[in-house]
Amino acid sequence: MTRWFVRTLTGISVSYMAGRTTCTVQVLPLEAVTSQKSHLALCVDDEVVGLQVRRILLERAGYRVLTAADGEAGLSVFEREQIEVVVLDFSMPGMDGGEVATRMRQTKPQVPILLLSAHVGLPAEITSLVDLYMTKGEGPEVLLTKVGSLLQSVKVS
């Protein structure tokens, strides 16, 4: 007899036994599905599509995600929530990522910041404000790896 069990981040579990006509579907509380408290990430980007893609990517990887469409909104969320990691776009109208990172460091210097840019080779005075920097073209796997390494380094320190 084949038997399988699936748990998803949406809190739905399904069990099935081959050779039987019965299938059980059970809705579980999210806490029962996740083995540990997920980290709270903040994504800040003025490009709505990119912002939503990163939100979905991080949520599927098990993170809780808040989003902000500009620097001011990002700072507001950052100040009132217990953010554990920030994914911040560099090029935004009004307040760029460098300015946002500077103000975040003044408020909560221990929170790691990953700066994203479409431009290769940002100046050192910008990249020195953040923990890690990557270009948007590096892909989702790199983003997840870098976010994970930032959170790991916070745990170790």
The answer to whether residues 57 and 27 belong to one domain is no
Amino acid identity of 24? T
The total of other beta-carbon atoms located within 10 Å of residue 98's CB is 21
The answer to whether residues 82 and 143 belong to one domain is yes
The answer to whether residues 63 and 104 belong to one domain is yes
The whole-number pLDDT of residue 137 equals 87
Quick one: pLDDT band at residue 3, thresholds 50, 70, 90? very low
Q: Is the pLDDT of residue 12 over 80?
A: no
Q: Concatenated DSSP letters for 11-25?
A: SEEEEEETTSS-EEE
pLDDT tens column, 14-63: 444 444 444 444 443 444 334 345 899 999 999 999 999 999 999 999 99
- Specify the number of domains making up the chain: 2
CATH number for the domain harbouring residue 74: 3.40.50.2300
The alpha carbon of 71 is separated from its chain's Cα centroid by a whole number of angstroms, namely 17
| Residue 139 to residue 136: CA distance in whole angstroms | 7
The answer to whether residues 73 and 115 belong to one domain is yes
The whole-number pLDDT of residue 17 equals 45
pLDDT tens column, 60-80: 999 999 999 999 999 999 999
Tell me the mean pLDDT in the region 122-132.
Answer: 93
| Residue 85 to residue 74: CA distance in whole angstroms | 12
The answer to whether residues 7 and 81 belong to one domain is no
Quick one: pLDDT band at residue 81, thresholds 50, 70, 90? very high
State the residue range of the domain holding 23: 3-33
Quick one: pLDDT band at residue 119, thresholds 50, 70, 90? confident
